[in-house]
Chain A
Amino acid sequence: MAEDLVLDTAIRDWVLIPLSVVMVLIGVLRYFVSKLMRSYQTPDPKIVKEGQVILRARNLKSAANFIPPKSFRARRIYLCNEENGLLHVPKGQAQNAQAQMFSDPNMAMDMMKKNLSMIIPQTLTFAWVNFFFSGFVAAKIPFPLTQRFRSMLQNGIDLSTVDVSYVSSRSWYFLNLFGLRGLFSLILGEENAMDDTQRMMQMGGFGMDPTRSLGAEKDNLDIIQHDWVLSKFEQRAEATLRKLVKQ
């Protein structure tokens, strides 16, 4: 293993550099395509209102002790009562919301567009890399690494005797895929900072029920013990004034 593999300079010129350039170009292209396809839709007033209700409920929760007990109780009843409280979600409606979201053609369309702009170029490039460059050792990292990195850096090469610091072309593709975010935010501006990895995570989080957060806020509000701090403030004010007078 001690002897160095000599990499052909043609590999550098025809694999390593083209692969990186293509990755960057595809990223830029995808950015513009998704920008073209992005449809600006006005948010639903109901959703906006729900967001605002949640904000207000959070404010109430965190600053409850600053208002008199009577006012706090009135607000809690307003937000949480079982008949028409803003945070109260009727039981049947909770499931409906999600179904409604899927049945809404606009939303489904939007998701499709997003996915298309993400998945299609990715599969295409992966196929392209696989077809042309499979089995290349494309680069060498200038520092030694442990065996654990083998699966990360030598994807596509089934040789256990090659030193781990050599990178296969397919792994180089993956490194580019996940590592170009910084470059993109430089080229395309900050708003593109959301890259594929994040988008993938978002996909996992999709289907979160907006009504659930309403319910959570309601539970939070229900268990608050109201303890008016203003009576303490009188003593504190006295202390402040004493200090002021003494000066």
Chain B
Amino acid sequence: MVSKSEEEQLNRLESQVENGGGGAWEYLCLIRKLKIRRSDNVLKYGLTILNDPKKRSSIGNDEWTLYEQVAIAALDCHSYDVAKDCIKVLRKKFPESKRIARLEAMLLEAKGLWEEADKAYSSLLEDNPLDQATHKRRVAMAKAEGDILKAVEWLNKYLEIFMADHEAWRELAEIYVSLQMYKQAAFCYEELILSQPTVPLYHLSYADVLYTLGGLENLQTAKKYYASTIDLTGGKNTRALYGTCLCASAIAQLTKGGRNREDKENQDLHSLAVTALEKDYKKRAPSKLPLLTSTLRSLKLSS
């Protein structure tokens, strides 16, 4: 999870590195730790370290981790030569490694040689059928090929065994959302909330899915999850504020006058959300404020 202070630290380091202030290695470590996809930067600064023997020896044994990181970044930037060279260096150091075999297969995959890559992954899985990373690569490859249904199938098979892997659940949830299979996506997001109940972004996505599903009960639940997102982020998540407003308006439309008791109790929430939104816009984007008020008026929320 990337927290606010970590994000600030990352941005600070990034600008420092960009302006030639050093700290490239720290920057790359932070990227690795936070699992952020900045492949172009990793490639650029990773190569400056790897091409400088003095810098390379100063990081000691982490050199090999860096080679791997740069190789993957190079694949992502489609600089196959760099990736190939990195993998070659790694292969020389670890001739037997499965991890490098996987990297080689990824190179095939990046080049678009699907059949060869598939063969490589299959042979890797034959050696070790419980290799999680390779299973995941196969799912990703099916997705990259455009065969989403196959990816879903692989992923479901994978989750049957590794059912506590929240990253896979997240991938599945995102795929289901892209396929507009919201009920299934909701299930996946529930699973994610179970494994990490304090991450507001899962609550938010779950609420989004429920809101999209529609129906009074789902809308009310969605509103609750938007509320929990607001609470967990201290009201600083704009999407959650909007979500509350949308849910409130949709619920009002569905119930039409016949408001039940629970709604009355929580009436304050969306009016507060409106105020918070207005305040936030006033502070950060005053020019967009009229847009906001007209939107909210169309939702019949603000007077």
Check whether chain A touches chain B (CB < 8 angstroms): yes
Q: How far is the CB of A178 from chain B (nearest CB, A)?
A: 32
- Whether B190 contacts A71 by the Cβ 8 Å rule is yes
Residues of A within 8 A of B194 (CB): 56, 59-60, 63-64, 66-67
Q: Which of B130, B163, B234, B276 contacts A45 (CB 8 A)?
A: B130
Binding site for A on B (CB under 8 A): 128-130, 160-165, 187, 190, 193-195, 197, 221, 223-225, 227-228, 230-231, 234-236, 266, 268-269, 272-273, 275-276, 279
- Whether A245 contacts B279 by the Cβ 8 Å rule is yes
A-B pairs with beta carbons under 8 Å apart, 22 shown? A52-B164, A52-B165, A53-B163, A55-B164, A59-B164, A63-B197, A66-B197, A67-B193, A71-B190, A75-B190, A230-B228, A233-B224, A234-B223, A234-B224, A234-B269, A237-B227, A237-B235, A238-B227, A238-B268, A238-B269, A240-B235, A244-B234
Map CB proximity to B onto A109-132 as digits: 1 under 8 Å, 0 otherwise: 000000000000000000000000
- Whether B273 contacts A241 by the Cβ 8 Å rule is yes
Count of A-B contacts judged by CB separation below 8 Å:
95
Question: What CA separation (Å) do A245 and B161 show in the bound complex?
Answer: 47
Residues of B within 8 A of A71 (CB): 187, 190
Question: What CA separation (Å) do A53 and B162 show in the bound complex?
Answer: 8
- Whether B163 contacts A236 by the Cβ 8 Å rule is no
User: Which of A62, A75, A237: most chain B CB closer than 10 A?
Assistant: A237
Residues of B within 8 A of A241 (CB): 230, 235, 269, 272-273, 275-276
Question: What CA separation (Å) do A180 and B269 show in the bound complex?
Answer: 64
Write the chain B residue with the least CB distance to A243.
B235
Residues of B within 8 A of A234 (CB): 223-224, 227, 266, 269
Q: Which of A43, A62, A237, A245 contacts B130 (CB 8 A)?
A: A43
Question: What CA separation (Å) do A64 and B268 show in the bound complex?
Answer: 28
Residues of A within 8 A of B193 (CB): 63, 66-67
- Whether A56 contacts B163 by the Cβ 8 Å rule is yes
User: Which of A49, A55, A71: most chain B CB closer than 10 A?
Assistant: A71
Q: Which of A48, A64, A244 contacts B235 (CB 8 A)?
A: A244
Q: How far is the CB of B32 from chain A (nearest CB, A)?
A: 22
Residues of B within 8 A of A56 (CB): 163-164, 194-195
Question: What CA separation (Å) do A231 and B161 show in the bound complex?
Answer: 34
- Whether B163 contacts A52 by the Cβ 8 Å rule is yes
Question: What CA separation (Å) do A72 and B111 show in the bound complex?
Answer: 44
Residues of B within 8 A of A67 (CB): 190, 193-194
- Whether B224 contacts A231 by the Cβ 8 Å rule is yes
Q: How far is the CB of A71 from chain B (nearest CB, A)?
A: 5
- Whether B228 contacts A68 by the Cβ 8 Å rule is no
Question: What CA separation (Å) do A236 and B197 show in the bound complex?
Answer: 16
